[in-house]
Structure 1
Amino acid sequence: MVIVESPAKAKTIGRFLGNGYTVRASIGHVRDLLRSSLSVDVEHDFAPKYRVPNEKRQIVKELKSLAKNAEAIYLATDPDREGEAIAWHLLESAEMQPEISHRVVFHEITEPAIAEAFAHPRSIDTSLVDAQQARRILDRLVGYSLTPLLWEKVRGRLSAGRVQSVALRLIVEREREIEAFKPDEYWTIGAEFTPEGMRTKYLSRFYRLDDEEPVLPKEETVNGLIHDMEKADYSISKIKKSERRRKPAPPFTTSTLQQEASRKLGFTARRTMAVAQQLYEGVAIDGAGTIGLITYMRTDSTNVSELAQNEVRKFISSQYGADFLPETAPQYKTRSIGAQEAHEAVRPTSVLRRPDDVKDQLTPEQFKLYQLVWLRFVASQMEEAVYDTVTVDITGKTPSHEYTFRTSGQTVKFPGFLVVYEESRNEDRERDEDENQKVPAGLEEGQKQHLNRLIPEQHFTQPPPRYTEASLVAALEENGIGRPSTYAPTISTIQQRGYVVRENKRLFPTDTGILVTDLLVEHFPDVVDVQFTASMESDLDKIASHDMNWVDVVRQFYGGFEEEVERARKEMPEVKTEPEKIDRPCPVCGNDLVIRWGRYGKFISCSTYPTCKHTEPFLEKIGVTCPEDGGDLVERKSRKGRFFYGCANYPKCQFVSWKKPVPQPCPNCGGLLVVANKREFQCLTCNETFLQETVTEGKSD
């Protein structure tokens, strides 16, 4: 008997193993702490009290029955701590015989990988189980202590968690940085030159004032310099030509996959992991049956197996030529704190399954993510890109000063990995406006340059950007908070709780999120401290590597935490939040209607609820009127969690759009515009498309 976690994986593995094997799915965990109580005996070494939930009893009963007649049992759950713990819970809850029970681990669901795993079974790694159990107990101690406190002191339906509260704190503190930010004015000066004997014009940037970097804080300073600059005669003082090499990005880890899928595909972290799970567990491919297309997607390692590297190197050589193949296979150093190097990076299980070859068998989402993984992996194993760079300094002198302008440019000498894939730019990283200017050919040192015009520009320093899901994942990883399996659920939780809202990809803390963070920082500074949380993750890693005892780790944390809880219960004043009123009476009793938070987010109810039981869904207006009846367009969510836009007068008005409408009218016909993609609007009336910036400026393209 073989036990895996999901039916899809069971189907795929069952086909590989063939007759003689019974493959069953546990459908995740089969045993957990009781939901109705703490379920941790703090007086007796934090012993957990596990039970099989009602919805899993039939599964456990069936597994127990099958186990009695099995010659051998293989626990083939996921290759991480969570999977190890599930295997242990299966062994315990289904009363399997340890002497015939084996643990098998694989990082891809392909026939060779399955054969290799079953040829080398092992016993359950109790240290990995202890590490997961310690995490579960720590999270339960924090959650079951702080959540009731928030319900009592603030309002119901709130929650606090060991990792989620730190993530929320990062967002709140970033918002406060933005609010406290005071912009500083600064100026830059550009210049347009024409080389002597040529007609070409090119731009340059003021780079040096005498021998120092220029400081231009005010317009008066700039005006004085410009007046003097115009008197100078300019010539090229230096030309520097060199070669720059650029390495490809490493293959994906969980964190980088979520970040890149957010930037390139617009996927949330949760959506990325759901689609990646499907690709990992198996997809029906013509001529190959059901097969896993990518390796395990919860990983912080950039390692690649020798087998996979050999395959991709042959592919690169045959498809792109020997020039694109590095002499030795690239090796990448994992940047994640506490990375599990035994794991592999996220990669295609076979590079020979090209995205276009399997496109017809995949959903659009599956194809987009598989293509992203495939391209990134192939590029990561290719030769570096090579650029020819040139830097030109143009200097002019007056009796007062020496002015140097600089122009820098580069051209691709050899594209290398760029023929396949280029990593997206971090949206929060400032773009260097001078990184690739056009430099005329034929320039020589000493050549005179005619100054056509000077271009002064005013700027203001910008506050730090609000987090996106992508940049928050990067921050969590950089600070060692959580692990690959926790990023997506953490970000989803703080949004579901109403602590954070996502607008135009940016994460904004709500008043409730700010209030909860302030209370936790004041009364539980360690729990929401970034360094403390990272240190706790390090201790969990040490448990997994046999270097620490899980009970000692939990005891060390709980001693101080228990005291903080008791002190907070006495000292934390009530800050009950009143429901927000809306300007409309209850249609049943006439009292005010208010916005409340429930299990599924915001809803509207009577202020006297539950005396008056009137409720209605909360509709988020987007500031656009319905093209059919003039009502307000509102944001709604489908049963599958996808956002769409419809009229507030539904069901009387049936207007709906999956694309977000915008307030600007169509410049062609005055109809309703929707966001077609990152750069374009589309009119629903005349079907014309327009560049967004031209519509914003009031011009059509």
Structure 2
Amino acid sequence: LGKGGLFFLPGDLPKEAALDLARFLRARGLRARAYLEPEALEAFRRGEADHLVGFASWRNPLARGLDLPGRVRYALFLGVPKLRFALGEDLAPGELVRLGLALLPLLEDPRLKALVRSLARRPGLQEKEVAPLREALLERLADPAFRARVAESPEVGLTFVGEKPVLVFADVTGYLQASGRTSRLTPAGLTQGLALLLAEDRKAFAALVRRLGYLLEVPPRPVAEADLEALLKRVDEDRERLARGERGGLALPERVVVVESPNKARTLAGFFGRPMRRYLPGLVVYEALAEEGYLVVTATRGHVTDLALRGGLYGVETTPAYRPRYHPLRACPEGSVPDPLCPDGTESQPDRDRALQALRSLALEAQDFLLATDPDTEGEKIAYDVYLALRAFGREVVRGEFHAVTPRAFLEALGRPRAVKEDLVEAQMVRRIADRWIGFALSEDLQRLLGRRGLSAGRVQTPVLGWVIAREREARTRLPFTEVALRGLALRFPGEVRERVLFLEVLEEAEREQNPLPPYTTDALLADASREGFRVPEAMALAQDLFEAGLITYHRTDATRVAPEGMALARRLIEARFGPEYARPRPWGEGGAHEAIRPTRPLWPEDLEEAGLFQALPLSEAHGRLYDLIFRRFLASQMAPARVREKRLRACLGEACQELTLRVALPFPGFARVWPLGLDPDLEAGRYAVAPRTVRLPKAARYTEGELVAEMKRRGLGRPSTYATIVERLLERRYVVRRGPFLVPTRLGERVYAHLTEKPPLAPVARRFVGEAFTREVEAWMDRVEAGEDPTPLPRELHEATLALLDALGDD
């Protein structure tokens, strides 16, 4: 390894151990000094010592404060960095909370776990605040059964010093701070370094690797898999550039990165250490120093403009050409409006217009801007609006696109900027015009016709409302069925059957492979989330949080494709827990930029809670449940098929017969290890006495929110970015209500739909524009505009439709 090494001992050893190791190394011809020795750091700085010895602990000055990029080449950890806690009553408040975090996976009381989570997020704790936690932990650690569980834990170690129990677990902070001494940001760029660890404690090492997965995209590798000679050559080349005084690696001028979400901005800036924060009117700005430059990351908080409420036809000039008029969004009690006045006539307050002005002030100091809003048409429109606000300043304003909030994806976007795609912007604008013209015209007609404000209609909203109404009519029609139960299996036959003997005949028995489902698209995630008790808007909000925290890929997608890094992540997780025979990575789709919804880090669902606390992420139990769903579906999609033994039978109750297939065994579970496949009772052929029961059941079940989203996907209405919004709007307008998990139309919803589709004077004109065919036609137009086709013919047709709708009640 050569000179320039930092030797780190575990932080749970006494200080004398560093002196002993330094003497040991000197006796073998190495010029080593312990950090405790006089002038040790100066001797190392001057080249009079080649190695330093210290401890891998945040308290140790060698791990915490050393900044000698020209001298330090590598760090060698002689043992896993560890923390020890003597289980007594003298732990400081901070240490007590760290103990609680270490024991979190073993704590079963949800109130105690909530207390640990709460205290972990609060700085400067006092003794009275942690007293309940101290009492609870000491009580559990005095329990022999709990101690046994700690001893059996794969990560938390329990040892004894004399009769006193001591907990030992990995010190991730110590490892990161100590290894970070080898790689520093300098005028010559980011110097690379090497960190090697000799692991003597399997429990502590497993815990260290797992917790590093919370922060690092690439896990530590065995030394046998690394080319040490090549790595050290790169390390030395960096030091040589620094010695020559090269300064090309660090660009000091500011690079401003604009996203749409403050949470996303904070996550991105946090990739480069703890960012500084400053406040501008309308903006929160995070600043961080990276090899790519001095990064300034901020957020627009969504769209910054919208179609104006005044002028032209609902904000669009129609002569001599179609020109939409956009106005910055301003604040009102009811929400943001693109108008100087609120709906009640009072003056609106500065909001996104102030944010745009703050971005212009940043242009006076920045070198360039990277517009890194979401990778869809809505994100492209936000980027375009910011581009228009900044282009007069002569700065380079480019678009950055990434589909996962991870360091790798972000750095790739910084290195591969592109221009704003105006075809995508035009498609978004035409869609907005269609929604505004058709929606506003229909809504005004409805409000006049029914004499009620707050009513609305739309090209997607209204046909979806019609599905709910039609399904409700079917649900109110009840049909007779006969049910029989046999060894936990329920069979249902149409009609009323009085026969009390069930005949079973085995038609076939075979073993087959069953493949897993693909990873989630937006509609599939919302459908399953609804079955798990989530409301669709809630599930989309939680998925947005997980995406912005860097835990999942972009969640508004129709793609099932898995990128190579996603397959590599799955293989690593599957082989580590289940063995290589369970891994069967699949791409599931061809090319394209978009991916399926998948986890971005090697975090099992049970790790998420601790990872959230470790990184101060605001994650709730609901976030964890949704992440569990996404994680298991993705991992299953990358696993081997299950081998299933099935029986195909014919069941007859009197003259009523049906065929059924039973899954009776899993010779090899495959993906079912994470995505369970239920087993049916293994029934044999024969006659069975049963007690038939006649029930009257709905002809069709009412829609749940998730099933309604699945229907939108199946019929080609809506987009991943609008599914949840459509459901939410129907509920807000009180056109439908929730009854348990189901959606039921209200009398208001039925009246509105009838006036739009059945009753004159509005229905004869409106019917076409609230039908599925028209919406599919508009969506097809949008796709062609995105591909570069001239958008002009569609506004012309929409303009004629809008005028017809406005005239519908004019002659009445």
Instruction: Please tell me the TM-score bracket, short chain as reference.
Output: 0.5 to 0.7
SS of equivalent residue, structure 1 residue 275:
helix
Kindly tell me: are residues 147 and 414 of structure 1, through their superposed partners in 2, closer, same or farther at Cα, counting changes over 3 Å? same
Task: Identify which of 42, 45, 49 aligns with 2:321.
Answer: 45
Kindly tell me: are residues 385 and 2 of structure 1, through their superposed partners in 2, closer, same or farther at Cα, counting changes over 3 Å? same
User: Normalising by the residue count of structure 2, what TM-score does the alignment of the two structures yield?
Assistant: 0.57
Structure 2, unpaired ranges of 5+: 1-255, 273-287, 330-349, 613-618
Kindly tell me: are residues 422 and 89 of structure 1, through their superposed partners in 2, closer, same or farther at Cα, counting changes over 3 Å? farther
Query: Does the alignment pair 1:570 with 2:811?
Result: yes
Do the aligned residues in 2 keep the contact of 1:408 with 1:437 (CA within 8 Å)? yes
Deviation for aligned residue 1:217: 4.9
Do the aligned residues in 2 keep the contact of 1:204 with 1:406 (CA within 8 Å)? no
Query: Does the alignment pair 1:22 with 2:296?
Result: yes
Kindly tell me: are residues 189 and 161 of structure 1, through their superposed partners in 2, closer, same or farther at Cα, counting changes over 3 Å? closer
Deviation for aligned residue 1:245: 2.2
Kindly tell me: are residues 140 and 407 of structure 1, through their superposed partners in 2, closer, same or farther at Cα, counting changes over 3 Å? closer
SS of equivalent residue, structure 1 residue 550:
coil
Kindly tell me: are residues 463 and 452 of structure 1, through their superposed partners in 2, closer, same or farther at Cα, counting changes over 3 Å? closer
Match of 2:791 in 1: 550
SS of equivalent residue, structure 1 residue 57:
helix
Do the aligned residues in 2 keep the contact of 1:84 with 1:124 (CA within 8 Å)? yes
Kindly tell me: are residues 149 and 370 of structure 1, through their superposed partners in 2, closer, same or farther at Cα, counting changes over 3 Å? same
**Bigger shift: residues 469-478 or 26-35:** 26-35
Task: State how far apart, in whole Å, the 2-side matches of 1:369 and 1:203 are.
Answer: 30
Kindly tell me: are residues 244 and 101 of structure 1, through their superposed partners in 2, closer, same or farther at Cα, counting changes over 3 Å? same
SS of equivalent residue, structure 1 residue 560:
helix
Task: State how far apart, in whole Å, the 1-side matches of 2:418 and 2:363 are.
Answer: 18
Deviation for aligned residue 1:566: 0.9
Task: Identify which of 256, 265, 269 aligns with 2:536.
Answer: 269
Determine which structure has greater relative contact order: mean sequence separation of CA pairs < 8 Å that are 6+ residues apart, divided by chain length.
1
Deviation for aligned residue 1:478: 0.9
Query: Does the alignment pair 1:520 with 2:756?
Result: yes
Match of 2:683 in 1: 439
Kindly tell me: are residues 104 and 218 of structure 1, through their superposed partners in 2, closer, same or farther at Cα, counting changes over 3 Å? closer
Kindly tell me: are residues 330 and 511 of structure 1, through their superposed partners in 2, closer, same or farther at Cα, counting changes over 3 Å? same
Task: Identify which of 512, 519, 536 aligns with 1:244.
Answer: 512
SS of equivalent residue, structure 1 residue 410:
strand
Match of 1:139 in 2: 435
Query: Does the alignment pair 1:358 with 2:608?
Result: yes
SS of equivalent residue, structure 2 residue 770:
coil
SS of equivalent residue, structure 1 residue 526:
helix
| Cα RMSD after superposing both structures | 3.2
Letter in 1 for 2:699: P
CA deviation map 1:303-338 (0-9, x unaligned): 111111122113212221122122xx324369xxxx
Query: Does the alignment pair 1:177 with 2:443?
Result: no
Kindly tell me: are residues 239 and 77 of structure 1, through their superposed partners in 2, closer, same or farther at Cα, counting changes over 3 Å? closer
Q: How many residues align?
A: 502
Task: State how far apart, in whole Å, the 1-side matches of 2:660 and 2:598 are.
Answer: 42
Q: Which has the higher helix share?
A: 2
Do the aligned residues in 1 keep the contact of 2:481 with 2:695 (CA within 8 Å)? yes
Task: State how far apart, in whole Å, the 2-side matches of 1:5 and 1:90 are.
Answer: 11
Match of 1:615 in 2: none
Task: Identify which of 489, 495, 505 aligns with 2:731.
Answer: 495
Identity of aligned residues (%): 32
Do the aligned residues in 2 keep the contact of 1:45 with 1:551 (CA within 8 Å)? no
| Superposition pairs of residues 616-695 of structure 1, within 5 angstroms | none
Deviation for aligned residue 1:454: 5.3
| Superposition pairs of residues 539-618 of structure 1, within 5 angstroms | 539-546=781-788, 548-571=789-812
Match of 1:31 in 2: 305
Letter in 2 for 1:171: V
Deviation for aligned residue 1:390: 3.0
Do the aligned residues in 2 keep the contact of 1:407 with 1:437 (CA within 8 Å)? no
CA deviation map 1:603-659 (0-9, x unaligned): xxxxxxxxxxxxxxxxxxxxxxxxxxxxxxxxxxxxxxxxxxxxxxxxxxxxxxxxx
Do the aligned residues in 1 keep the contact of 2:575 with 2:582 (CA within 8 Å)? yes
Match of 1:631 in 2: none
Kindly tell me: are residues 99 and 545 of structure 1, through their superposed partners in 2, closer, same or farther at Cα, counting changes over 3 Å? farther
Query: Does the alignment pair 1:115 with 2:115?
Result: no
Query: Does the alignment pair 1:100 with 2:365?
Result: no
Match of 1:346 in 2: 597
Do the aligned residues in 2 keep the contact of 1:68 with 1:96 (CA within 8 Å)? no
Letter in 2 for 1:301: A
Task: State how far apart, in whole Å, the 2-side matches of 1:216 and 1:11 are.
Answer: 58
Query: Does the alignment pair 1:390 with 2:647?
Result: yes
Task: State how far apart, in whole Å, the 2-side matches of 1:111 and 1:491 are.
Answer: 34
SS of equivalent residue, structure 2 residue 303:
coil
Kindly tell me: are residues 409 and 72 of structure 1, through their superposed partners in 2, closer, same or farther at Cα, counting changes over 3 Å? closer
Letter in 2 for 1:162: R
Deviation for aligned residue 1:123: 0.3
SS of equivalent residue, structure 2 residue 516:
coil
Match of 1:280 in 2: 547
Deviation for aligned residue 1:272: 1.0
Query: Does the alignment pair 1:4 with 2:272?
Result: no
Match of 1:413 in 2: 667
Deviation for aligned residue 1:377: 1.0
Letter in 2 for 1:7: P
Task: Identify which of 599, 615, 628 aligns with 1:371.
Answer: 628
Task: State how far apart, in whole Å, the 2-side matches of 1:278 and 1:202 are.
Answer: 41
Kindly tell me: are residues 506 and 101 of structure 1, through their superposed partners in 2, closer, same or farther at Cα, counting changes over 3 Å? same
Letter in 1 for 2:722: T
Kindly tell me: are residues 456 and 128 of structure 1, through their superposed partners in 2, closer, same or farther at Cα, counting changes over 3 Å? same
Match of 1:258 in 2: 526
Deviation for aligned residue 1:456: 4.2
| Superposition pairs of residues 190-269 of structure 1, within 5 angstroms | 217=495, 240-264=508-532, 266-269=533-536
Deviation for aligned residue 1:130: 0.7
Task: State how far apart, in whole Å, the 1-side matches of 2:651 and 2:703 are.
Answer: 40
Structure 1, unpaired ranges of 5+: 193-200, 207-214, 283-291, 335-339, 425-434, 444-448, 572-701
SS of equivalent residue, structure 2 residue 769:
coil
Task: State how far apart, in whole Å, the 2-side matches of 1:404 and 1:28 are.
Answer: 54
Task: State how far apart, in whole Å, the 1-side matches of 2:656 and 2:410 are.
Answer: 71
Do the aligned residues in 2 keep the contact of 1:243 with 1:387 (CA within 8 Å)? yes
Task: State how far apart, in whole Å, the 2-side matches of 1:405 and 1:101 are.
Answer: 64
User: Normalising by the residue count of structure 1, what TM-score does the alignment of the two structures yield?
Assistant: 0.66
Match of 1:167 in 2: 464
Task: State how far apart, in whole Å, the 1-side matches of 2:607 and 2:376 are.
Answer: 31
Do the aligned residues in 2 keep the contact of 1:3 with 1:23 (CA within 8 Å)? yes
Task: State how far apart, in whole Å, the 1-side matches of 2:489 and 2:742 are.
Answer: 34
Task: Identify which of 84, 95, 102 aligns with 2:380.
Answer: 84
**Structure with larger Rg:** 2
Kindly tell me: are residues 237 and 319 of structure 1, through their superposed partners in 2, closer, same or farther at Cα, counting changes over 3 Å? closer
Match of 1:534 in 2: 776
Match of 1:63 in 2: 359
